[in-house]
Structure 1
Amino acid sequence: MRGTIATIAALACMSGTCLADPAHADIRSFNSAVEAGDFRGAVLAAAETWPEVDRASPDAADIAREFGWIAMLADEPSAALVYAKFLVEQGQGLPHPDTSPAVSRVLMEWAGLAAAASPNSRAKLVAALNARAATSGRDLISARAAQVLHVEAWRAGDWAQASLSAELAIRFIDELGAGQSPARFEMRRGMAAAAFMRAKTPEAYNATYDIVEELHDLIAVTPDGSIRDRLASEYFSAAAWGDAMYSALGSRQRATPDRRNTSGANRKAIGELLYPAPGDVSLPRCRISLARTFKQPGFPFNNRFKDFGGVVVYALNVEPGGTFSEPRLLVSAPHDGVAEAVQDVISTWRWRIDGGAQPPACRMPETHILTFEFALGR
């Protein structure tokens, strides 16, 4: 079949191996599905196209890797394994050998992990990522695979592996030139959190709050849009994790400053950056806080995090008469059970105005960011 379009070349760049002249298969339906964000449709199109791809083509390996990459984005690891195994088992014997065998190995082990997570499949992906790290290059497959490994290692409680995989992800993200991407901040937070789970040190806590302050500054200069929204999500996650870590420091709190008290100094409040209060900007924002009369939730005990308090952050609409509406969960740390414990009492929350400024001498916000904490040792 003939007649490809140039889109596949751009798509191949996504995984780090751009196609020079993929003129040996009709993959227009694959391209169209990917452009539309229909990755599952693209997987079906790839399956129809793959038998007709000329294995002697200079692009055969690159096409296989791109098909495998899209299959992983579609959460179809069994489909990805078809292409990844072809690359690993036959790629070097092709008339035009695979030029990125380390990436192909990562793809195969990532698909294997996604198909059946286990200590063995995680170890195989670690080995593949370490081999990839020993080479030069830039590709999204390795960066994404390392991120997925971090999540799986965290879920398994393998803190050493969670830390290593986050470090590798940062390495691969840096190769892509994405030093201020939300994904990189996420992996930095993950590495600090994994370090804290191994040894509850002020250094890991401070590393987390360094991320909070960097994100605050970055949000302040980033235009509205999806990237800013993702940076904001990482900001709240890092701040919540930092506060949860502080609760677990125990006696070391006495020698460790609580940085939530200082991180906002000389910075516009995060609530005003993300949800500016309407009105005359020369007036201050009214200070909203949680009234003290509300139903108390039970403590969300989790044995893995038994030394931690808990932090949950919501964005809520501010309604007349002291009520809130439309609570949106922003983060629950150090585990999801914190939000689950709070969920049943949100309807009892009421707001009040703190400080001397009252409307109309201050701007009444329409959205309030509320942090609820189960504190230990504060």
Structure 2
Amino acid sequence: MPASADIRAFNAAVQSGDYRAAVIAANETWPSIDRNGPDAVSVAREFGWVAMLAGQPNVALVYSKFLVEQGPSLARPDTAPAVSRVLHDWANLSVAPTPQARLQLLASLQQRGAATGRDLISARAAHALHAQAIAAGDWVQAYDSALLAIRFLDELGARSPPSRYELRRGVAVASFMRVKSPEAYNALYDVAAELADQVVATPPGPARDRLAGEYFTAVAWGDVMHGALPAAVRKATPDRRNSVRQLAEVLYPAPGDPALPRCRIGLAREFKNPGFTFEPRFRDLGGEVIYALDVRPDGTFANARTLVSAPHNGFANAMAGLIPGWRWRVDPGQPACRTPTTHILTFEFALGR
């Protein structure tokens, strides 16, 4: 890149993670960039990429439009026009999230996927398209975009980040929403099992927290999917929830003598299922909410944290008013045990009940 004060300010802002400051520096630098110079294409693509990271797709469009419209005819032509097109269509989708914009980005990603390469832009754009396709209930597009995103991550050598597990979950969910098959269910629980092992092997901190979040999401979605299998298929498909490693003691160890087991605790009294808002995207599916709650000595819970609400947030919203009335007790018949200070509580919503 040209050695100028503004470029140095841009680089410093990017390195510190202050993408908004980087966008300001980019906008100040761009007018002085020689459009026919050797760095014009790389500078424009970097500026556009950082603008997307800053959540400013309108700014990114300035740079991506230059790349798409002028890149091929520059004195130093764009050597990665497929990536530039992906950047442009990703920014356009972020500005105007229409079905046509999704189709255009998918086409650009497929064109990019026809060749090998390594770039972060395509991986992030495919991930963004996957999220929008799920929000729109376009399961074919959600499936295709997740597979592309996984491929682009693999090209980067990023084979086990949380985002890759999220995308594998997305592949399984999108497949299940098209055909309610035990194969999709088992694929998702395979993801949950891998995530459990990753959580155990990862030291406490933000990285483990992110993996744990993906674990709980995969488990909740898996349970919902098992309940939505056709009756005969469900009967023949083992319920895998008890075969996957449980993480309560890993994430929230109970105090006391480690030789004693962790106490099993539950609600002291039942409550009426509050129902939930119907979401057309997820017809034929029930729901599941998993909470982490602080356990108080007086039999109450505090500081309820929603770990996941699947397949949508309507289930957690339906439970919100009930949480203050919950009381806990140690399940009867247990030997001496350690009472946890944090409890993981799961609620299932079944259709018709």
On whether the aligned pair clears a TM of 0.5, the verdict is: yes
1:26 paired to 2:6: yes
CA–CA separation in structure 2 for the residues paired with 1:48 and 1:194: 43
Aligned AA (1:239): V
Contact 2:6 2:28 (C-alpha < 8 Å) held by counterparts: no
The within-5 A match list for 1:76-95 is 76-95=56-75
Aligned AA (2:47): F
Could you say what secondary structure the match of 1:282 adopts?
A: coil
Identity percentage of aligned residues: 62
CA–CA separation in structure 2 for the residues paired with 1:242 and 1:52: 54
Aligned AA (1:310): G
Contact 1:246 1:253 (C-alpha < 8 Å) held by counterparts: yes
Aligned equivalent of 2:301: 324
The within-5 A match list for 1:125-164 is 125-164=105-144
The within-5 A match list for 1:204-353 is 204-251=184-231, 252-264=233-245, 269-353=246-330
Aligned equivalent of 1:38: 18
5+ unaligned residues in a row in structure 2: which ranges?
Answer: none
Aligned AA (1:313): I
Alignment counterpart, residue 372 of structure 1, candidates 335, 343, 347: 347
Report the CA distance between 1:98 and its aligned residue: 1.8
Q: CA RMSD in A?
A: 1.7
Aligned AA (1:253): R
Aligned equivalent of 2:87: 107
Residues 39-98 of structure 1 deviation map (CA, whole Å, 9 limit, x = unaligned): 222212111110011223322211111110111111111100111111111112222222
Q: 1:22 to 1:282 in 2, by over 3 A?
A: farther
CA–CA separation in structure 2 for the residues paired with 1:178 and 1:223: 19
CA–CA separation in structure 1 for the residues paired with 2:281 and 2:72: 45
Q: 1:213 to 1:186 in 2, by over 3 A?
A: same
Residues 257-295 of structure 1 deviation map (CA, whole Å, 9 limit, x = unaligned): 11113223xxxx301111111222222111122333335
The within-5 A match list for 1:164-175 is 164-175=144-155
CA–CA separation in structure 2 for the residues paired with 1:163 and 1:280: 47
Report the CA distance between 1:303 and its aligned residue: 3.1
1:72 paired to 2:64: no
Could you say what secondary structure the match of 1:89 adopts?
A: helix
Report the CA distance between 1:173 and its aligned residue: 0.8
Aligned AA (1:371): T
Contact 1:219 1:232 (C-alpha < 8 Å) held by counterparts: yes
Aligned AA (2:115): T
Contact 2:180 2:230 (C-alpha < 8 Å) held by counterparts: no
Could you say what secondary structure the match of 1:27 adopts?
A: helix
Q: Select between 277-286 and 175-184 the one with higher mean Cα deviation.
A: 277-286
CA–CA separation in structure 2 for the residues paired with 1:376 and 1:26: 59
Report the CA distance between 1:25 and its aligned residue: 6.7
Counting matched residue pairs gives 352
1:362 paired to 2:337: yes
Task: Name the TM-score, length of structure 1 as normaliser.
Answer: 0.89
Contact 2:86 2:105 (C-alpha < 8 Å) held by counterparts: yes
Contact 2:87 2:125 (C-alpha < 8 Å) held by counterparts: yes
Residues 186-234 of structure 1 deviation map (CA, whole Å, 9 limit, x = unaligned): 0010111011111111111111111111111111111112211111111
CA–CA separation in structure 1 for the residues paired with 2:16 and 2:158: 24
Aligned AA (2:163): A
Aligned AA (1:327): A
Could you say what secondary structure the match of 1:320 adopts?
A: coil
CA–CA separation in structure 1 for the residues paired with 2:136 and 2:93: 13
Aligned AA (1:244): V
CA–CA separation in structure 1 for the residues paired with 2:257 and 2:341: 14
CA–CA separation in structure 2 for the residues paired with 1:197 and 1:207: 14
Report the CA distance between 1:30 and its aligned residue: 1.7
CA–CA separation in structure 2 for the residues paired with 1:81 and 1:60: 16
5+ unaligned residues in a row in structure 1: which ranges?
Answer: 1-20
Task: Name the TM-score, length of structure 2 as normaliser.
Answer: 0.95
Aligned AA (1:192): A
Aligned AA (2:242): N
Contact 1:250 1:377 (C-alpha < 8 Å) held by counterparts: no
